[in-house]
Structure 1
Amino acid sequence: MRKHPRLSFLLLSTACLAGGALVATPLSAAPEQAEPPSAQAPATLAAPEVTKVPVGYLKQEVKRPIPLSRLNVEPEDYGIAGAEMALKDNNTTGRFTKQEFTLDVERVAVGGDAVAALQRLVDSGHRFILVDAPAETLLALSDSVKGKDVLLFNVRAEDEELRQEECRANVLHTAPDRYMLADALAEYLVWKKWQRWFVVKGPFPEDLAYLEAIRRAAKRFGGTIVEEREYKETPGARRSDTGQQQIQQQMPIFTQGAPSYDVLVVADEKEVFGPYLPFRTWDPRPVAGTAGLVAMSWHPAHEQWGATQMQNRFQRLANRFMWPVDYQAWIAVRAIGEGTTRARSADFAPVNALIRSQDLNLAAFKGQKVTFRSWDGQLRQPIIVTGPDLPVSVSPQEGFLHEEAEVDTLGVDQPETKCKFK
């Protein structure tokens, strides 16, 4: 997965309510008229019972190549820290609604039994569970609890099949899929009138999936792919040998001879070669896609719409920046909190219904409330288009219209969905 640092923070003020009981005593009473001591004692009011709302987090460990940049090494608490901050947000409101949210994490080792881990969470009373796992694991988990009062939140996998041919009724997606990310980038490139794209792709399945998303986006928004070129060589020893001079010579030669183009779009999700392309292409052109100018759900320098508070608070909690999966986990737990608070219950049916409702009032620090699409369970949300240090724009772009909501120009719209919930 592509990794880019990000941070998040939301300052919520807290207050305490204190109550007292005034006990009236008679001004005068004869000894023989005095009530027994037990009758004179003030009645004790039982405190309202606190409703427990357990939230699960299932994290499947996977083998990932060492990233080319040390800045993109994945933190140990990636995703989990975002869920923990949302838990604090939920409990701030929960103090007044007599609801207490807890987070229980199940870590599954590489090759471990994720289904068994999910079953442990379900057996211990968890009905709302975040899943940080690859697509095949998510599908196995979903099928294992089919027909049960369990709702899974996909906070990691970007595979569009999970929202289309392989969509599941018991899964909601806070992670954007590749179609949404490619559409967000394409809208900005077309808005800039950078409509001629030279596409460089890697050989891995993830690269080809992103390539397909770029092809689709070009057709939707008026981009033209002038050439597709595959990178087949393996550069150096990834961060360890003295290969900088070799790379400096290799990348210009690799990108030489392309037809006239406005921007080089790279499809390299494993980061085998993509990060080497900016500033090394034969022609002086911007680089976008999985390197250079990228589309993502969150960026640590995003500050609009109150995001600065979110960023600062997350940094104090986790001692690092907020990354996309942190944000995607945060918003999943916040959706659970919003649904539970509004339902005034922890019962599965009303909370599930409120989370899926188009009236869900969930602030996301992106200038508009976000909701889940009824046709595929995908969270509709604006996407940040950003360079390494600063956001460049936010899609949907001005001028890309939709009959219902402009944010639905990103990804698969209802008329074109292939989702038939299983």
Structure 2
Amino acid sequence: MRLMRLLASTAALFVITGSNARADVDVLVTYLRQQVKQPPVLSNLDPIPENLGPAGAEVGLKDNQTTGQFLGHNYSMELQDVPIGGDLLGAAQEALNLSPFIVLDAPAADILRVADLPEAEGALIFNVAAPDVELRNDACRANLLHSIPSDVMRSDALIQFLGRKKWSDLALVSGTHESDIRFSDALKYSAWKFGLTIQDEKTWVFDADMRRNAAQEVPLFTQDFKDHDVLLVADEIGDFGRYIAYNTWLPRPIAGSEGMVPQAWSHVVEQWGAAQLQSRFHDHTGRDMRSKDYAAWAALRTIGEAVTRTGSNQIEDLRSFILSDAFELGGFKGRPMNYRDWNGQLRQPIPIVTDRALVAQAPIDGYLHQMTELDTLGLDRPESKCTAFKE
């Protein structure tokens, strides 16, 4: 019986690729990571794994190799780490001289610098780290695809859920870090788009030790908020949000960067075969998969799926296929995922989670779209100012 299943699987792969079966194809991917200085936070309870991102790419590489061994497709990956203040562009040029496939783990400004290199023209670069909406808008690049969701995709997911619950009156507390401000702006945009109201907002500027003072300071900080249904928290660096929960003047749900959190991936996602991916990742790393890991895994699997379906490692063939209606990526989130042909963003459901459970998964029922409900998350075609993909 096991032999019959193996033969059936091999036959299925032959049908998928037709005459391309056993065609020798070599694919080298460079995972290029710019190390960045992490901002100080009040608590050190959530250390950042050293292999955050590359670990997901390694699992994706293994998946590609499993399929590739039947087809003569050979996948390999090199990790290039650029230290803080190091020569990212030089490392990128070196990588592009070896292969046009780059998985790029860097801040938005550095991503654009790499994408604009002469050597990067015609390359296929996957952004797995920067959620900045500008990269999907007027700062988009034709050689740049995004497997990490944008800030607005996450905020749209959360606001859809709140709207479905009819929790329409909101308050907002935001930190001062650049990523906090971006997510705060995204939450305000999503609230406006879906007809919810942010009645009050404040900026968190405390420099006291909230581990000792939260029970005294947070009630006073939130006391003058108008009555609201949910308190939104924009604390993307994980600094203060944990101390706001259960200490507010009014007993209200917390959502955003704390409480109910919209994420690309979480260890609590178990449906749709996700438990199998979670198990494989844990076996490989000894830890849970995080959002950047998932984005890196999706980038490698995008390359692998495109090579499998086309039997080619040529960039133009792969890019055309990836941006076509024929491309589908099984992402263990209940729906086939594909890329928006107007800005290169990977369409994907967004889980809304707590530390211990999946609360909901967006798009939320009732939010309709003429093409696909996944396009209710993030910049839809009429919203995006990206023109690079039209050229």
Same fold (TM over 0.5): yes
Q: Deviations over 1:134-165 (max 9, x none)?
A: 00100000001466331100000000001101
Match of 1:404 among 356, 366, 371: 371
- Aligned partner of 1:285 in structure 2 is 252
| SS class of match (2:74) | strand
Question: Does the CA contact (< 8 Å) of 2:268 and 2:355 recur in 1?
Answer: no
CA positional deviation for 1:361: 2.2
1:282-361 counterparts in 2 under 5 A? 282-361=249-328
Q: Unpaired segments of 5 or more residues in structure 2?
A: 11-21
- Aligned partner of 2:81 in structure 1 is 107
Match of 1:252 among 201, 207, 219: 219
CA distance in 1, matches of 2:52, 2:34: 12
Match of 1:222 among 166, 176, 195: 195
- Aligned partner of 1:43 in structure 2 is none
CA distance in 2, matches of 1:381, 1:219: 22
Q: Unpaired segments of 5 or more residues in structure 1?
A: 1-12, 18-47, 237-242
- Aligned partner of 1:75 in structure 2 is 49
Question: In 2 relative to 1, CA 84–216 (structure 1 residues): closer, same or farther, beyond 3 Å?
Answer: same
Counterpart of 2:62, as a letter, is K
CA positional deviation for 1:272: 2.8
Identity %: 41
Question: Does the CA contact (< 8 Å) of 1:154 and 1:174 recur in 2?
Answer: yes
The answer to which structure, 1 or 2, has the higher relative contact order (CA under 8 A, 6+ apart) is 1
Instruction: Provide the aligned length of Structure 1 versus Structure 2.
Output: 374
Q: Are 1:183 and 2:156 matched, yes or no?
A: yes
Question: In 2 relative to 1, CA 229–67 (structure 1 residues): closer, same or farther, beyond 3 Å?
Answer: closer
- Aligned partner of 2:233 in structure 1 is 266
Question: Does the CA contact (< 8 Å) of 2:32 and 2:102 recur in 1?
Answer: yes
Q: Deviations over 1:277-313 (max 9, x none)?
A: 1111111001111111110010101011000111111
Aligned-pair Cα RMSD in Å: 1.9
Match of 1:388 among 326, 348, 355: 355
| SS class of match (2:273) | helix
- Aligned partner of 1:370 in structure 2 is 337
Question: In 2 relative to 1, CA 388–336 (structure 1 residues): closer, same or farther, beyond 3 Å?
Answer: same
Question: In 2 relative to 1, CA 397–186 (structure 1 residues): closer, same or farther, beyond 3 Å?
Answer: same
**Larger % of helix: which?**
2
Question: Does the CA contact (< 8 Å) of 1:54 and 1:101 recur in 2?
Answer: yes
| SS class of match (1:63) | coil
CA positional deviation for 1:390: 1.2
CA positional deviation for 1:50: 3.5
Q: Are 1:134 and 2:107 matched, yes or no?
A: yes
Question: Does the CA contact (< 8 Å) of 2:138 and 2:387 recur in 1?
Answer: yes
Question: Does the CA contact (< 8 Å) of 1:181 and 1:296 recur in 2?
Answer: yes
Match of 1:119 among 93, 96, 107: 93
Runs of 4+ aligned residues of structure 1 deviating over 6 Å after TM superposition are 13-17
Question: Does the CA contact (< 8 Å) of 1:66 and 1:73 recur in 2?
Answer: no
- Aligned partner of 2:31 in structure 1 is 57
* Mean CA deviation greater in 67-76 or 274-283: 67-76
Question: Does the CA contact (< 8 Å) of 2:222 and 2:249 recur in 1?
Answer: yes
CA positional deviation for 1:206: 2.3
Match of 2:124 among 140, 145, 151: 151
* Mean CA deviation greater in 99-108 or 261-270: 261-270
